[in-house]
Amino acid sequence: MSNTLNEVDPFNASESSSREGLSFQRINIVGTSGSGKSTAGKLIAKKLGYLYIELDEIQWKPNWTESTEEQLFSNLARSLEGESWVLDGNYSKTVPIKWKRVQLVVWLDLPYWLILYQVISRTIRRSVTKETLWAGNRESLRKAFFSRNSIIWWCLTNLRQVRRQYLAAMSDPGLGHIRFVRIRSRQQLANFVAALPQQPD
């Protein structure tokens, strides 16, 4: 049972999409770093047959240079012009753009220990394999563990803030056009994705 204004049960939200013919056509996957947004976003987009959009790909330029706000806002708005998409990413400054027409926000609010495990293991894997990320960027162990810009440190220090942010959003009457699904475990996420309607081949 929801205790916030705009929250819906994950399974009921999936059933709603099935019954009403994909009623949720514009979806934003959110959550702190390491929560699994990209993995979940790709799974949901593939199953529904929607365009998958990664906010980090719009934000980052070579050498870990950030886009200006003007560039970010313009490129994001252009990417979201379609009718059916799954957007993966937070960036609170983009809310006026990304939530203008969004219908469903899927918040990955996994246990703290699991998020920490996922972000550390992901960082090690990316660093060791030299995986190419957005705009040709790569993560390094030095930056991840011994830098002021450490993604692991950011995760450790921002989880509570992220939770406060989305709890407030779910109770905001001004966001009444959006439905929120709060996912609190891997199993709950798997059940949610499984219940979504399959896009015909």
Could you tell me the mean pLDDT of each successive run of 10 residues in the chain, 201 residues long?
Answer: 53 50 83 92 95 96 93 98 96 95 96 90 86 83 73 81 94 92 94 85 61
The CATH code for residues 10-195 is 3.40.50.300
Q: What is the pLDDT of residue 166?
A: 95
Q: Tokens at residue 140, please? A: 């390094």
Q: What is the pLDDT of residue 103?
A: 95
Contact 87, 81 (CB under 8 A): no
Q: What is the pLDDT of residue 2?
A: 45
**Prediction pTM value:** 0.86
Q: What is the pLDDT of residue 67?
A: 96
CB-count exposure of residue 82 (10 Å: 0-12, 13-18, 19+): exposed
Domain ranges of the chain: 10-195
Nearest Cα to Cα of residue 44 among 149, 174, 194: 194
